[in-house]
Amino acid sequence: MTTTLAPHAKPRIEWVDFAKGISIIMVVMLHVSLGVQKALADCTWFAYIVEWARPFRIPAFFLLSGLFLSRRLNWPWRDFIDRRVVHFAWFYIVWLTISFAFKGAAFAREYGVEGTLKLYALSFIDPFGTLWFIYLLAIFAVATKLLKDVPAWIVWPAAALLEALPIHTGWMVIDEFASRFVYFYTGVIAAQQVFRFAEMVKRFTLPALFASLLLFAVIDAGLVFNDMATLPGISLALGLAGSLAVAAAGVWLHRAATTLPGAGWLDAFRYLGQHTLTIYVSYFLFMASLRTVLVKLAPGLGPDVISVIVLVAAITGPLVLQALLKGTVLRYLFERPAWFSILPRRPRRHMQPAE
């Protein structure tokens, strides 16, 4: 979702939007691939891309999310909680409720009405489905602010150790915090280094940059498909290197979109990156619905074609829905209303966009 910048705010760093656009496509592709494979009991070529991207797909998303937090760590706690916790809580509650409404009949058949209500209540403690990402974003932000006065040379190794340990409690908050916090924290403490890296990458020629990304892709594939990518140390290295590769790819796409003749269509990646939360919270509606229709009515298309169609719909559908709801009361699906805040009411306070 597009952020409305205040007069004093810095302009968007466009390569970050391109990188986030790449990231959201990889995330949606994962769930499209899993869903189609399960429905048709057949593998898709998406599965190979999904497996190849596994070491860095979510790490890149979290590292990019942490890049701009450092400037907010000194905010008063009330302002910080409102922007980094209450903000995400609105979208979590709204889309959790929609998810249960969408899947309510199936849940009721499996768990009964009482069991479904218990599962809904439990989802406020242990995040539900793909919404765990925005749930963890709030927790990561609070944890980072609590740790802001602890030297990074203490926190970062501890976070790296958590990533390497085989922590599987069954509680998603604990398990995902252990395995992902190091990437978010790295984005916070190494933001200036990441931006300098991007500036260095900008000096590469496009062919040289493309060749560098291809080299990483080959190394990553070798480790992934030889079952080495999950080994302690290697998983962290691939997660961090892959995150930088996604950043470099964002730089490459930005340059290509603005300098290469006929490459303006690549600007779509920037647009997706500006609307990642819109896509993330609602893509499941379009993905599940269209997948069900195609599997029932057109299974002959095959898993690959169905996967491509569903991926495009799952990414573009939320953007179309947001545009259709703009100006209506249902815009609150994608905008936090002013009243959902812990801050004092201010005159003429505007809606706060999702990101």
Q: What is the pLDDT of residues 268-311, one digit of tens each?
A: 999 999 999 999 999 999 999 999 999 889 888 888 999 999 99
**Dist. CA 347–CA 258, nearest whole Å:** 40
Which whole-number Å values give the CA distances from 201 to 14, 22, 198, 243, in the listed order? 14, 17, 5, 14
Tell whether the model's pLDDT for residue 2 goes beyond 60: no
- Which residue ranges make up each domain of the chain? 14-353
Paired tokens of 64: 């990019």
Tell whether the model's pLDDT for residue 10 goes beyond 60: no
Which whole-number Å values give the CA distances from 215 to 37, 203, 219, in the listed order? 29, 18, 6
Which whole-number Å values give the CA distances from 28 to 31, 43, 114, 122, 325, in the listed order? 5, 17, 31, 25, 22
pTM of the model: 0.90
Q: Residue holding tokens 């995902």?
A: 176
- At residue 11, the pLDDT reads 57
Question: Contact at 8 Å (CB) between 181 and 159?
Answer: yes
Q: Residue holding tokens 């990188």?
A: 19
